[in-house]
Structure 1
Amino acid sequence: MAYERSPSAFAFTREYIFKHALLHDVVYESVVRRLRRGYHREAANWLIAAGGDRAAEFASQIAEHFVEAGDDVAAIEWLVRAGTEAKSTHAPVAAAKAFGLALQLAAGTSDPAVAADRRAALGGLGDVLTVQARYEEAVDTYRALRDDAAAEGDQLSVARAESGIAAAETYQGHLRDAVDSALRAREAARRGGERNEEARAAWLQAWASLRLGMVAEATDLAADVLALSADGDRAMCAEALNLQGVIAYSGGSYDMATAHFDEAASVFEEIGNVEKVMPLLNNIGVIAEARGDYESAEKSYREALAIARETGSRDGELVYASNLGGTLVALGRAEEGESELRRVIELATDGLSVLPETYRFLTDSLLAQGRVTEAAEAAVTSLRLALDSEAPDYIAAAWRALGQVASRSGGSVVVRLDRAPGSYDAEQCFAASMRTADEIDSDGDRARTLAAWAVHERRAGGPSDGGGRAARARELFSGLGAEREVVRLDEALAVVGGVDR
């Protein structure tokens, strides 16, 4: 009927298991119901005692026994522990289930002893929903945490809730909302004297500000993060270094950006935080892509994507898959890239900050396949999403993509958007892209738009140097260390009928 299982999960303990699950069920049902609760309580307490320092590893089983014992207070405590353990081991589905059950039980009791665990469950569930890219649910959960914590005067939990909202809003591309939420998080953290949480809020504010093109503000905020976390939060110091790398990249300082990324990666590896290496791999891929080294970019994106899938990070998976799709298109694998990009679009049901870029990459893929009408639809969608996000680099790129579509169609593209209604020819689109690139002083965007504009002018029968724009694009690419893009430009000009050196 029962067999000894070896080795046991506990030292100096003999462990037995029923031969069949059906036999287990029969024996269990034969126990008088009024006695079961006591046995479940004894089993839970034995697991806690036997587990010792490792009890958290058995939190799920312990919680289950307390649930069956009818001890809701203890069950909630151990469900929160189970959710936290699952979250730390990259099991978001199990974590969400545990936190959800804890909240369900907490709603049915007025015992004040569960208040802290209820807030912990709300925060943990919000984090897990964000990782799963379920942003709307995450925001609702964080708001519940904020309101609960505010009523109890728990400023730390208020700050964590507002930071969670800011993170979800950033992932959705609601950047101005994210800045406001991060500011509220900083205020709550200051009221509670929580420097580490204030550092996290400043970091979130910096990211949203940077995406909005507010580079000076982001630079100052990154310095604030380093100052606030200098007393020992090495993980947040590394996050600030990563942020400084992205700021350097946005200014065209690719070598400096790489140095910051390498330093941040060293810190994360030293403290054993493999998950945080994931966005750094993505950022290294972005630098390689900016330099025209698409082979290296593909390698970095695939490595980041593998970690995201292994750890259950759906939000990271979608971002890295989008970047990978764009790189595949640039490598001449348009159909493969399209497949990757359409999967991202299908899965991003709650929005995604990089969707303007996803649709721009899709535009490139469709143009490469000669599907100009579909490309126009994708380009307009990219522009709509970019304008909604207010991210200037996305706006510049979307106008550039629209210009490339107009160039290929030989006419104009009709845009039916409240913020940019009208019919635009290629020249108008490229001019709009350049204006935005100039506003944020982005040499990378300038170079790419000038290159696309030069190819258009040559296609339209203009001078072989694209009205001098090709020479200026080469100069900018060379200054950025993107010599491969110079070669790509010359190849594109040759295809449409002329190269001027």
Structure 2
Amino acid sequence: MSDQAKRTEKLVDAITALEAQRGVLSDAVVDAAVHGLKQQLQGLETSPAQTALAAERKLVTVLFADISGFTALSEKLDPEEVRALINACFEALVPIVQKYEGTVDKFIGDEIMALFGAPVAHEDDPERALRTALEMMQTIATFNAAHQTALSLHMGVNSGQVIAGEIGSKGRRDYSVMGDAVNLAARLEGASSDGEIFVGANTQRHTAHLFEFEALPPLNLKGKEAPVDVYRLLGLKHTPKTARGIEGLRAPLVGREEELREIKVAVLELSRGAGGLIALMGEAGLGKSRLIAETRAALPENVGSAEGRALSYTAGMSYWLVRELLRDLLKIDADAPPTEVARALRDSVAAECGDRVADIYPYLAPLLDHELEGEMAERVQFLGAEALQSRMLEAFRDYVRARSCRQPLLLIWEDLHWSDPSSLRFLEALLPLTREVPLLLLGALRSDESPARQLLDGAFEKFAEPGRRFALRPLSPGQSMTLIRELLQLEDLPENMRDIILERADGNPFFVEELLRSLIEAGVVVLTGGRARVTREITAVDLPETIQGVVTARIDRLAPEPKQTLQKASVLGRVFQERVLERLHEGIAESRIMRSLVELERREFVLSGRELASETRALEEGDYIFKHAITQDVVYHSLLLAQRKVLHAAAAHALETLFPGRSDELAATLGYHFERAEAAPEAAHYLGRAGERAQGTFANAEALAFYRSALAQVERIDPAAQDAKTRRSAAHLNEKLGDVLTLTGEHGPARAAYERARSRLLDGEQIVRSRLHRKTGFSHNLQRHYDETGRAFDLAEKELGEVADGRPAEWWEEKVQIQLERMHLFYWQGMAAEMREIAARFRSAVEERGAPIQRGKFFQMLALSHLTASRYRPSEECLELAELSVSASEGSANLSEASHVRFVLGLIHLWRGNFAVAIGHAQAALALARRVGDRVIEARCLTYLAVAFRRAGQVEFARDYATRTLELASKLEMVEYVAMGHANLAWVAWCDDDHAGIAQHGAQALTLWHGMDDPYGFDWMALWPLAAVAFQQGRLGDMIEHLRALFGPNQHPLPDDLEAATRRAITAGERDREAAKTDLECALRAAREARQL
């Protein structure tokens, strides 16, 4: 016997057993008890499919009503008379529950438990429960008068999430509900006295606009740790207040004429060559998507358009929105073969960008997950993560610019509040183009605070014109009535129904539509020949209060099989593919699934690709989308956690089976499903791969999120089941996490990640352990923690062991890297001799076994050793070594190191007085650093560009770079560069004659430098501006003290002529300050000539 047949048999048996008790319980009581069972049986009989998932989460209002007074009657009456009275009382009360379409869950002695929202939900279940309670109070009084009794009622009502479904043992299971909301309703009933209706806070919140309540002191109830807020229901309000309505139906565009007119003006201006920015902001359901649809439907022939839509789960999926836009621009399907994708992209780039194909095509291809070959692959092969991201952004911007120049272009970014950070950066990069080419950017987003909202707010401040921002508002009552008439083609809507809809909808077009559709499906409004007629008043079928109530009410009206299909589709996300959905319907014929989809599409729960073509964009054949995201949310959250777990696992396995060659592309999605399926090993695997993909395109925020999620999954694996593979995976993930954190300047968390990685290593992995120690030291060195750096490098060398024959290449590579980084440590400590000692010992190893970038690094360290030994008076040999380091690094895949050697070459030119050459090298290094995302080298480049422009006398450039230095170095906690930023700003303040600025920045620079463990030799950068302002203010004593400080311990020597003039001024000032003014002024003039002031 099939499961469906067994379930049918059980329902029939249960109904038969209840029917047999009519003589005992009476007709009214039995009718109420079998009401829910008959609804379930009807669903089985009207569909050959399985029932919907057996149990589900539902928002339910529970009413407990206890009848008091039967005990006293039992002392006076015969038991048979008491039974008759009880049944008569139930017969009077139960129809009230039925009137409001509630379900009698059970009778417990002389107590009734009734449900509103299970098994079938209504849009206003809390209201129905309270109306039932009030009418029960009236009815018990009538009953007492009719039967000369003194019975009374006391009740408890509460709303909340419950688990609804079959409950019981294997032999007997009945439909019921479980959950804290049920328990609280029972406790409220127990706490109430005769004649009282106690209501929970959740129910009161949903119905306060309709009912009068008295707030009671919080009660201490059994099973509750904290006191519970309780309200006593007093009755209906004499004048009900307005309540917000609920989202809903698809409708003609009403009440948005002004916004549409303004958008059309912007599009017309676009067609004539003017770009711009449009932001549509507002709550869900206020008409953003419809405005977009109307805009695209009315585009001039000479305007092109494309749309990308973010989804609720794509905020962590790098470039999702941009990828969607690019696909729409190219008009290619998501499942298009790689050859078709490559051809479409190449042809489009060639058509739009002419001979620049090689500059654009290889950097757009990664957005479409297309694997490059040959020359094109070589262009990206050695790019670092952020470098590739930067080139991708530039290529996308250039491609959009080219398309916009050929044809005015409208780019639509929908649901921006769910956008991934990388796509937001692309949007930000396009903003300036709107003022240069005919490009119109239209973003639609919720009005809530979000990164997208911040971006657009900032854009409107920066690009005030030409921009249009619309904060969509609710419709007026007149506009809402127009919408209703347009939908129903009905002029004579009953006044009471019209007033209720307008009151409930509160001007939200989506709410109006959903309310009307609910009425249509309930049979209150019937459509005939394109026109509507009202069949009855709706006083007993009140309108919905909440979005969840409306959507759940519509869902519960579905036959079991379409409902089950909708539930399973919700696990796949808002957009889902039919063939993936089929894999979640094991044992169900494809034709039956299609029938369900047709029904869901007919009732506008979902839209297919062909249907969506009339909306804002087309999906691929076989793809569907939930018409409203809120529907998908409500359906998904109705599933039990256990059900979600099973379905997510099925979804993941389906994706693996259907798309075996796309596991890297789908890594984030697969990780998402396996994570929610609690399949920790698989989730960790795919989330880690997703992290590597994000890191590979330098989407740092996404990479960090994926690595952390992957590690969380590893931690979920039972320690007893963690084999060597799991430990290696944990170590690898922690190391990758540490690498990204180091790159982004989060050194403490980075070192913690490396420590965790070391703790998961197995015996025998000395090279990996050494590498992790060395990376820890590198992180410490960036923050000038010299002792910690040295200890970490010592540990790294200890793990490697001594030099010996037969060491593998990776051993030598690590050994060389440790020496190079130790030389860098000595450089920061001013230990030139130690640097040269390492160079002498390991030169042959570097030349014979080092990688190209290591050879470049070696020459760079030699150059820095000469620079240190010369006290920053670089020789020709020092310069030659720096140039050799650059040439040795050419062709390296490590662009971070390549940028560093270029930076050092610029640094040496700076100290040789070749300012223009120094600036050129530093700017080239800065560009490389930004491409690879090395924030540390970026900070160094900014710092010394400020110095170079300062010494070249270019105040505004110095100001700009010094300000940027201060901002970035502060984030990275690079104290010496924070101080350098202040010192350079002190010089800028001197140029501005800003005495307060000189004092502030100069003092701050010296304080920071003098607080470092090792002295910094550049005090002159702050001291000369301080000395100059002291001279101008006549504080000659202070000036002389500043000049003396120039010769403090470990300070770099001044140029010979400047040193002589300065010492002469100090000596003269010590004899007679006033007489020394000429010498002091000569010292300042000499400082200016030496480009130190």
1:308 pairs, out of 921, 929, 938, with: 929
Deviation (angstroms), 1:120: 1.0
**AA aligned opposite 2:863:** G
Alignment check: 8 A CA contact 1:166 1:182 kept: yes
Alignment of 1:168-247 (within 5 A): 168-190=779-801, 194-224=811-841, 226-229=843-846, 230-247=848-865
Task: For residues 429-470 of structure 1, give each alpha carbon's deviation from its aligned partner in whole angstroms, at most 9, with x where no partner exists.
Answer: 1221xx424xxxx66x55596288379679831299759x96
**Distance change >3 Å, CA 243–CA 165, structure 1 → 2:** same
2:973 to 332, 351, 361: 351
Maintained 8 Å contact 2:648/2:673: no
Judged with a 3 Å threshold, the aligned counterparts in structure 2 of structure 1 residues 465 and 407 are, in CA distance, closer, same or farther, namely: closer
Q: Which residue identity does 2:838 align to in structure 1?
A: L
Secondary structure of residue in 2 paired with 1:197 = helix
How much has 1:210 moved relative to structure 2? 1.1
Q: Structure 1 93/451 Cα, relative in aligned 2: closer, same or farther at 3 Å?
A: farther
Identity of aligned residues (%): 17
Structure 1 residue aligned with 2:333: 5
Aligned to 2:918: 297
1:81 matched residue in structure 2? 689
Match of 1:474 in 2: none
| Structure 2 counterpart of 1:428 | 1044
Q: How does 1:24-423 map to 2 (within 5 A)?
A: 24-25=625-626, 33=644, 34-44=646-656, 47=659, 49-51=660-662, 56=664, 59-68=667-676, 70-109=678-717, 110=719, 111-112=722-723, 113-149=725-761, 154-190=765-801, 194-224=811-841, 226-229=843-846, 230-250=848-868, 251=870, 252-347=873-968, 348-352=970-974, 353-392=976-1015, 394=1016, 396-398=1017-1019, 401-402=1022-1023, 404-410=1025-1031, 411=1035
Q: Provide Cα deviations, 1:65-107, integer angstroms capped at 9, x if missing partner.
A: 5435543213323333333343343332232222111111112
Question: Whole-Å Cα distance in 2 between the matches of residues 37 and 148 of structure 1?
Answer: 28
Change in 2 beyond 3 A, CA 1:455/1:305: farther
Q: Summarize the Cα distance change of 1:372–1:98 in structure 2 as closer, same or farther, 3 Å threshold.
A: same
- Secondary structure, aligned partner of 2:948: helix
User: Displacement, 1:356?
Assistant: 3.3
Which shows bigger deviation, 215-224 or 123-132? 215-224
Q: Tell me the TM-score normalized by structure 1.
A: 0.76
Query: In the aligned structure 1, how far is the partner of 2:1001 from the partner of 2:714?
Result: 47
Aligned-residue CA RMSD (Å)? 4.1
Partner Cα distance (1:320, 1:64) in 2: 40
Maintained 8 Å contact 2:1065/2:1080: no
Change (3 A) 1:219 1:104: same
Task: Report the structure, 1 or 2, having the larger helix content.
Answer: 1
SS in structure 2 opposite 1:24? strand
Matched with 1:480 is: none
The answer on whether the counterparts of 2:949 and 2:957 sit within 8 Å (CA) in structure 1 is yes
Please say if 1:450 is aligned against 2:1071. Answer: no
Mapped to 1, the partners of 2:1092 and 2:937 lie a distance apart of 33
Report how far residue 351 of structure 1 moved. 1.0
Identify the residue that residue 498 of structure 1 maps to in structure 2. none
Q: 1:464 to 1:375 in 2, by over 3 A?
A: closer
Q: Deviations over 1:273-330 (max 9, x none)?
A: 4343211222222122212222222222222222222332222222212222222333
Kindly indicate whether the alpha-carbon contact (under 8 Å) linking 1:244 and 1:260 is maintained by their aligned counterparts in 2. yes
Give me the whole-angstrom Cα distance separating, in 1, the residues matched to 2:944 and 2:882: 18
Matched letter for residue 947 of structure 2? G
Relative to 1, partners in 2 of residues 1:200 and 1:451: Cα closer, same or farther, differing over 3 Å? farther
Per-residue deviation, 1:118: 1.0
Aligned residues: 453
Q: 1:403–1:428: 8 Å Cα contact kept in structure 2?
A: no
Letter in 2 for 1:405: L
**How far apart, CA to CA, are the structure 2 residues paired with 1:142 and 1:461?**
60
Letter in 1 for 2:955: A
Cα 1:177–1:362 change in 2 (3 A) is farther
Query: How far is 1:128 from its partner?
Result: 0.8
Q: Which runs of 5+ in 2 are unaligned?
A: 1-327, 343-367, 369-575, 578-608, 610-617, 1069-1075
Contact persistence 2:769–2:799 (CA under 8 A): yes
State the AA in 1 paired with 2:782: Y
What secondary structure, in the 3-state scheme, does the structure 1 residue paired with 2:625 have?
A: helix
Deviation string 1:93-151 (CA, Å, 9 cap, x unpaired) is: 232222111111112213333211111111111111111112222223223333444x8
TM-score (norm 2): 0.37
How far does residue 265 in structure 1 lie from its aligned partner after superposition?
2.7
Q: Cα–Cα, structure 1 residues 9 and 302, in superposed 2: closer, same or farther, change >3 Å?
A: farther
C-alpha contact (below 8 Å) 1:285/1:299 kept by paired residues: yes
Q: Deviations over 1:176-202 (max 9, x none)?
A: 322222222222232897332232222
The structural deviation recorded for 1:46 is: 5.2
Other-structure match for 1:497: none
Q: Does 1:461 pair with 2:1078?
A: yes
Segments of 4+ in structure 1 off by > 6 A?
12-17, 26-32, 454-459, 490-493
CA distance in 1, matches of 2:685, 2:1062: 62
